[in-house]
C-alpha cells in the first residue's frame, strides 16, 4: 500500500467485480442504441477503460475534460470545459462516465450542456457516489459504491494530480493535505 494512504476502502478486486455488474446492466439497457459513452477526463479515465470492456454491445466513445477542483480538496464551484467533444450529440443516447459525484456541480453542468445540444437521452454512471457532499440535486442512474465524507484517492481520483494510478481506492492521510 502507498505510504500516503491511511486505509484502503475498495480493493482492485472489489472495484473490478462491481464494474462487471454495472457493465452488464448498462449493456441490457443500451442494446441496439449505439450509445455515445463520454469519459469525463481526467478522473474517469481508468473507470472508462475498464467499464467499456464490460458493456458488450456496440457503442462509441468520446472524451471531455472538465475541471472544478484544481489543487484543492474542495470543489471551486466553477466548472470549466478544458476539452470539448469531437462527436455531435444531437439525437444520440449519451452515457456520461464519472469517477465520483460529490457536490454534483460538474455533472449537473455537463448534463444540462448535453441536453441543450439536443441529446436524445442523457444518463450518468459513476463509480463512486458521495451523497453527503451534494450542493445541487443530482442522482446518478448507475452507481458503483457509496462513499463516506472523506477525501479519497486512487483509481483515477487525484489529490493535486497524484495517486490516479493506484489500482485501489483509499483515504488519504490528513497530514498530506493539511
Ligand atoms: C473531480 C471528479 C469529478 C468531480 C466531482 O474532478 O473527477 O469529475 O470532481 O466533483 P463534484 O461533484 O463536486 O463536481 P476534478 O475537477 O478534480 O478534475 P479531474 O477529474 O481532472 O481530477
Ligand atoms: Mn473529474
Ligand atoms: Mg481532481
Q: b vs e for 38-59, b when ≥16 Cβ sit within 10 Å of the residue's Cβ?
A: bbbbbbbbbbbebbbebbeeeb
Predicted confidence (pLDDT) per residue in 21-62, tens digit: 999 999 999 999 999 999 999 999 999 999 999 999 999 999
Confidence tier at 138 by pLDDT (50, 70, 90)? very high
Of 139, 101, 107, 123, nearest in space to 36 by CA: 123
Q: How many whole angstroms separate alpha carbon 67 and alpha carbon 111? A: 15
Q: In the chain, which ranges are continuous DSSP H helix?
A: 12-30, 45-54, 105-116, 174-177
Query: Which member of 4, 102, 141, 158 is catalytic?
Result: 102
Does 79 score more than 90 pLDDT?
no
C-alpha cell at position 4? 500516503
pLDDT attached to residue 140: 98
Confidence tier at 73 by pLDDT (50, 70, 90)? low
Of 51, 50, 25, 29, nearest in space to 121 by CA: 29
Q: How many whole angstroms separate alpha carbon 103 and alpha carbon 115? A: 20
To test the ligand 1 pocket, which listed residue (63, 100, 143) has its Cβ within 8 A of the most ligand atoms?
A: 100
Eight-state DSSP code of residue 132: G
Overall residue count recorded for the chain in this entry: 178
Confidence tier at 76 by pLDDT (50, 70, 90)? low
To test the ligand 1 pocket, which listed residue (44, 68, 133) has its Cβ within 8 A of the most ligand atoms?
A: 68
pTM value?
Answer: 0.95
Predicted confidence (pLDDT) per residue in 155-175, tens digit: 999 999 999 999 999 999 999
What average pLDDT score do residues 94-113 get?
A: 95
> What percent of the chain is predicted at pLDDT more than 70?
95
C-alpha cell at position 45? 479515465
Predicted confidence (pLDDT) per residue in 1-22, tens digit: 899 999 999 999 999 999 999 9
- Asked if 102 is an active-site residue, the reply is yes
Domains of the chain from N-terminus onward: 12-151 (3.40.50.2020)
Angstrom distances, CA of residue 136 to CA of 76, 111, 139: 14, 13, 10
Q: How many whole angstroms separate alpha carbon 101 and alpha carbon 27? A: 22
Enter the ipTM: 0.97
pLDDT attached to residue 178: 83
Amino acid at each position: 500500500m502507498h505510504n500516503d494512504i491511511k486505509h484502503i476502502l475498495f480493493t482492485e478486486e472489489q472495484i473490478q467485480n462491481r464494474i462487471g455488474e454495472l457493465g452488464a446492466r448498462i449493456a441490457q439497457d443500451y442494446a441496439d442504441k449505439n450509445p455515445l459513452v463520454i469519459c469525463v477526463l481526467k478522473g474517469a479515465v481508468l473507470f472508462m477503460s475498464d467499464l467499456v470492456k464490460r458493456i458488450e454491445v456496440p457503442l462509441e466513445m468520446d472524451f471531455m475534460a472538465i475541471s472544478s477542483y484544481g489543487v484543492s480538496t474542495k470543489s471551486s464551484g466553477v466548472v470549466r470545459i478544458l476539452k470539448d467533444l469531437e462527436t455531435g450529440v444531437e439525437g444520440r443516447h449519451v452515457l456520461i462516465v464519472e469517477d465520483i459525484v460529490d457536490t454534483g456541480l460538474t455533472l449537473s453542468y455537463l448534463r444540462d450542456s448535453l441536453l441543450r445540444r439536443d441529446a436524445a437521452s442523457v444518463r450518468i454512471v459513476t463509480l463512486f457516489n458521495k451523497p453527503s457532499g451534494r450542493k445541487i440535486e443530482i442522482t446518478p442512474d448507475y452507481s458503483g459504491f457509496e462513499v463516506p465524507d472523506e477525501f479519497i484517492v486512487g483509481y483515477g481520483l487525484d489529490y493535486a494530480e497524484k495517486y490516479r494510478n493506484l489500482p485501489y481506492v483509499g483515504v488519504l492521510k490528513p497530514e498530506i493535505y493539511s
